[in-house]
A and B are shown apart, each in its own frame.
Chain A
């Protein structure tokens, strides 16, 4: 009970600073920062481990708390060639799974980006404005594209883990 009261207090303080997070995400963020061990068992480990999940469109999602970071895989960045421009959505844009959310322009073409999950865009990687090549150089780290909320966590279970994705791209070559 005391824990719940403490969480409610903290979430009230957060609400001013984090207006973009949804109500349920509020509480999750607070729990994360307080690290209450008892609550950890409610969530599956994949959501806490920060492991990558992949779509068949070669995007990856890394979940950290209630936020998913999205980028494109090494396979995708190699296929694209040098990225010269990243066309990303506005913060606050609501996306459905598989909805087109932007495009990367490379010497090859303008390649559309498809959302791996349903959620709302909370952050876009502004470093890509002056340095779009980060997508090629560090596609899993500094070359991330957007961060978004995860409205339907079950969607994560439909995505491929790293091993499955490796198998998938091998099958594409044949």
Chain B
């Protein structure tokens, strides 16, 4: 079963020739508006699905809405600095992955209580306000007393104060996509703790910053508003707003035969070089305290790698040759705790040091790694 129709009982297997891709299937459908729902909850698969549709589906005379949800993940904008935007050590401890999307905008936290919507159109038909109107109208159709409105920053606010949706977009060669979140029943305590960086004060960067806002879940104001109800209302309103008719089609973004190349797109999105390496150049300037000694650390990070590393350490605590060896070991390495730990451990094995010095180096390394 490649595709399932959600709202209708009929099944597509007969009419979809396996040689077709999703793109040709849409062409054959002949509909000018299509609503899709993703069958999976992996952030990388879903981001790849967006990219695949954007790159392969003819959107000149057709618009599409994709509805998707993910298991917990933090997603940063294309030109952002993850060290500035979120608490990476906490995310590692909680097993929450970091993804970088191709659209601009700020950092968001996703979990099953968040609905993502992507509006695909030609560049000519790109209209974020109209898309957000679909969402606010759908919510008001469900609950007429709900006070929700879009701002000129393309956020959606609840009761004029709490952010329930943020927007980002990408303009390509001939088509565009606008995607946004909607907080239905997200775990707000996890959201606020992962979106608070542990190192932003020590970072100097010109990456695009997020604008933090107080948030609320729709479920907080109305416990009967669950994600499925909201998704159905949005699908319905989308069809009304744009004059489309047609069922909601579920798509499995891991189906390579249907979407050739999508697997590689998902792999590319998981590469360190994309997630961390695309961070605009930044510098780290920090005072660490190791063994009651103050260590001044200065690093320039380019493409996610240490371009330059300098440390000021009292000579009587650690001799300068050791400090130089340490900083040399880090030069050119990925700005990554595992990599740093491995490199420092390797260098302590190659130079002959006393146990005491080795331990100091180990603790110094732990201090440096704490800002990664």
**A and B held together in a complex:** yes
Given A129-B206, A130-B206, A105 and B104 contact (CB-CB distance below 8 Å): yes
Which of A84, A87, A103, A109 is close to B176, meaning CB atoms less than 8 Å apart?
Answer: A109
- How far is the CB of A98 from the nearest CB of chain B, in Å? 8
- Is there an interface contact between A110 and B206, defined as CB atoms closer than 8 Å? no
Per-residue CB contact flags for chain B residues 186-213 toward chain A (1 = under 8 Å, else 0) read 0000000000000000000011100000
Contact across chains for A110 and B79 when beta carbons are under 8 A apart: yes
User: B103 in the interface, Cβ–Cβ < 8 Å?
Assistant: yes
Contact B79 A87 (CB under 8 A): yes
Q: Does any Cβ of B come within 8 Å of A112's Cβ?
A: yes
A112 vs B206: C-alpha distance when bound (angstroms): 19
Residues of B within 8 A of A103 (CB): 78-79, 102, 104
CB-based nearest A residue for B208: A85
Q: B149-168, CB under 8 A of A: which get 1 and which 0?
A: 00000000000000000001
Task: Give B268-310 as 1s and 0s: 1 = Cβ < 8 Å from A's Cβ atoms.
Answer: 0000000000001100000000000000000000010000000
Task: Please give the distance in Å from A108's CB to the nearest CB on chain B.
Answer: 7
Does A8 belong to the interface (CB within 8 Å)?
Answer: no
The complex places the Cα of A15 from the Cα of B316 at a distance, in Å, of 48
A110, B173: Cβ atoms under 8 Å? no
> Do the beta carbons of B208 and A105 come within 8 Å of each other?
yes
With A105-B79, A130-B206 given, can you name 15 additional A-B contacts, CB distance below 8 Å? A85-B79, A85-B104, A85-B207, A85-B280, A87-B79, A87-B280, A103-B78, A103-B79, A105-B104, A105-B208, A110-B102, A110-B105, A110-B168, A111-B170, A129-B281
Please name all residues of chain B whose beta carbon is closer than 8 Å to the beta carbon of A28 when the two chains form the complex.
none
Complex CA distance for A172 and B104, rounded to whole angstroms = 26
- B281 neighbours in A (Cβ, 8 Å): 129
A129, B170: Cα distance in complex, Å? 21
B169 interface residue per 8 A CB criterion: yes
A149 to B79 CA separation, bound complex (whole angstroms): 26
Question: Is A14 part of the contact surface with B, judged by Cβ < 8 Å?
Answer: no
- The verdict on A57 contacting chain B, using a C-beta distance below 8 Å, is yes
Chain A contacts with B in 78-115, Cβ cutoff 8 A: 84-85, 87, 90, 103, 105-106, 108-112, 114
B215 interface residue (CB < 8 Å to A): no
Query: Which residues does chain A contribute within 8 Å of B358, judged by CB atoms?
Result: none
Chain B interface secondary structure, helix, strand, loop or mixed? Answer: loop
* Chain B residues with CB below 8 A from A106, complex form: 104
Q: Which residues from 111 to 133 on chain B have a C-beta closer than 8 Å to any C-beta of chain A?
A: 126
Assembled-state Cα–Cα distance A114/B78 (Å): 17
Classify chain A: how many residues form its interface, as a range: 10 to 19
Residues 87-116 of B, flagged 1 when their CB comes within 8 A of A and 0 if not, give 000000000000000111100000000000
| B residues 321-341 in Cβ contact with A at 8 Å | none
CB < 8 Å A-B pair total: 54
In the assembled complex, B171 has its CB within 8 A of some CB on chain A: yes
B303 partner residues in chain A, CB cutoff 8 A: 90
Question: Which residues does chain B contribute within 8 Å of A90, judged by CB atoms?
Answer: 303
Give the complex CA separation of A85 and B207 in angstroms.
Answer: 8
Give bound CA distance, A80 to B223, whole Å: 41
Residue pair A112, B78 in contact (C-beta under 8 Å): no
**A109 with B208: CB separation less than 8 A:** no
Q: How far is the CB of B257 from chain A (nearest CB, A)?
A: 26
Provide a sorted-by-A list of 20 A–B residue pairs whose CB atoms are within 8 angstroms: A57-B173, A85-B104, A87-B78, A90-B303, A103-B78, A103-B79, A105-B78, A105-B208, A109-B103, A109-B104, A109-B169, A109-B178, A110-B77, A110-B79, A110-B169, A110-B170, A112-B170, A112-B173, A129-B281, A130-B206
Residue B172 at the chain A interface, CB threshold 8 Å: yes
Report the minimal beta-carbon distance from A149 to chain B, rounded to whole angstroms: 22
Q: Nearest chain A CB to B264's CB is how many angstroms away?
A: 16
Whose C-beta in chain A lies nearest to the C-beta of B172? A112
Which of B104, B172, B176 has the most chain A CB within a 10 Å cutoff?
Answer: B104
Q: Shortest Cβ distance from B53 into chain A, in angstroms?
A: 16
Separation of A90 and B302 alpha carbons in the complex (Å): 11
A103 to B169, CA, bound (A): 12
Q: Pick the contact of B171 from A84, A85, A110, A130 — CB < 8 Å?
A: A110
- CB-defined contacts of B104 to chain A, threshold 8 Å: 85, 103, 105-106, 109-110
Residues of chain A lying within 8 A (CB to CB) of residue B126: 109
Q: With the chains together, A130 CA to B280 CA distance in Å?
A: 12
Min C-beta distance of B249 to chain A, whole Å: 26
Question: Nearest chain-B residue to A57 (Cβ)?
Answer: B173
Cα distance, A65 to B192, chains bound together (Å): 54
Residues of A close to B79: CB separation below 8 A: 85, 87, 103, 105, 110
Q: How far is the CB of A77 from chain B (nearest CB, A)?
A: 13
Task: Point out which of B126, B206, B281 has the most chain A C-beta atoms below 10 A from its C-beta.
Answer: B206
Q: Collect the chain A residues with CB atoms within 8 Å of residue B168's CB.
A: 109-110
